[in-house]
Structure formats: C-alpha cells, structure tokens
Amino acid sequence: MKRFLIAATVSLALAACASGPRLPRYGMALKPVANPGDVIVAESAFARLALEKGQWAAFRATAAEGAEMFVPQRVKAADWLKGRPEPVVAVKWQPHAVWSSCDGSYAVTRGSWQSPNASGTFATVWQRQRNGAYKWTADMSLAAKPAEPAPEMVVASVADCPKRDELLTVTGHFAGTSGADIASGSAADNTLRWTTTVMPDGTRRIAVSLWKNGDWREAFTESSGPDR
C-alpha cells in the first residue's frame, strides 16, 4: 500500500444547509447540516492516532462498519487489516479538498500522499455516525505521480439542498463490462454521489459528483494503474 497516513491539521468554517431532508437515514437525533470542517478534523485526528498507535491500528480504529479498501482489489477493511503488522515507515498524506453533501451524512476528501520512494493522490469517503463523528467508509490510493503541493487552505464544496423527492437514490454493487467491479454510493439526501471501479488487473477509478444549481456537477474523476 502506498498511501495510508494523514499528516495535516486544517480548520474550516462549518457550512450549513438552508433546507434539507427531514429524516436522514442515520436517525432523527442529528441535524441535516454539512460539516466539511469536521471531516478535516477527523482526518487530522486520524493522522495523530497513526503516529501514536500505528498506521493499521489507526485504520482499524477509525473505519466505519463495512468500510472498504483497495489493495488494489476491493477488500473489506476489517478482514484485510486484521492482524496486519505495522509498516516500518508510515506513508504520509495531506487532504487538499473536501466535498460534502447538503445534509452532511457523507463527504469525500482528495489529497496527496508521499512515501520514501513514491508519491501520488488519494480519495476517501467519510460517513457521519449516529454520534455525529465521521469515520471513513472507503479509501483508495490513486495514481503515482509527482507530489502535489498542499494548498494553504483545504478547499470545501457543499452541495445544494434538494427539494423533496427531487433526486433519486443511486447505490449498489454490480459487475461491469470486462469483469469490472463497480460500486456506487450516495449521501442520505442524495446530493453527493460516488462510483468506485476496479478492473481485473487492479486498475482503479473513482468518480465523485455534487448537486449544484439544479444539476449534477463533477467534483473529480481520477484513476490509477494496477501498481500498489
């Protein structure tokens, strides 16, 4: 694995939805409010835990139920991380941008990673839990390329809040053409969507879209070769 440690501490102003779904899937106790700053705080805490307790220990402690990793094939994080020895040198990463659904139920971060001999990009899907904390539910290391300079401030984008029944849920897992392993997910209010694809040779791809101005806007699409 190339990228599995966050090393950044960034604070962002919280972004709130003017209106949103009345009944989020995760329960009525949480207000449907976007909190991109909380996502960055979660990544920073993740980084500290990895340094203090170990890389894989941090992954185990911060993973949501059913979380997935790409190594390069899609695996259940709990199974893959079980009993895995800690690496001698942890890979570092920094988030550069975050995209949040209007209700804050999910967010996606993108950034860069660096190891002693390589660098590249990553994408992580974060899920808000019943207690309001964020845990990661999908983590993908992407294309190896020269390290991207970290921005002075993490860029935050929040989806517009939809009208009731304006959007349809698009989630699921299915096999695509040429044996592709494809999974799609969406936020509870459907204003943030993502699709992860893994080809038989380990080539990976993630595409993220955000609901803006009454239409879907591409947040980013990125792919990586089968190298790990």
Angle at which helix 36-53 crosses helix 55-62, to 10 degrees, equals 140
Cβ atoms of residues 206 and 123 within 8 Å: yes
d(CA 39, CA 50): 17
- Mean pLDDT over 82-105 rounds to 90
86, part of any domain: yes
Q: What is the pTM of this model?
A: 0.82
d(CA 127, CA 47): 17
Is 90's pLDDT higher than 90?
no
Beta strands in the chain (DSSP E): 63-70, 74-76, 92-100, 106-114, 119-128, 134-144, 155-158, 172-175, 181-186, 192-198, 204-212, 215-224
Tens digit of pLDDT for each residue in 158-210? 999 977 666 555 444 444 567 899 999 999 999 999 999 999 999 999 999 99
Q: What percent of the chain is modeled with pLDDT above 90? A: 50
190, part of any domain: no
Structural domain for 80, as ranges: 36-162
Is 26's pLDDT higher than 70?
no
Q: Give first-to-last CA distance, the chain, whole Å.
A: 6
CATH number for 57? 3.10.450.50
Tens digit of pLDDT for each residue in 107-118? 999 988 887 788
Is 140's pLDDT higher than 70?
yes
215, part of any domain: no
41, part of any domain: yes
Strands 155-158 and 92-100: parallel
Q: How many domains does the chain have?
A: 1
94, part of any domain: yes
93, part of any domain: yes
Between 154 and 99, name the one with better pLDDT.
99
18, part of any domain: no
Cβ atoms of residues 87 and 213 within 8 Å: no
d(CA 16, CA 106): 14
Is 122's pLDDT higher than 60?
yes
Tens digit of pLDDT for each residue in 33-69? 898 999 998 987 887 787 788 889 889 999 999 999 9
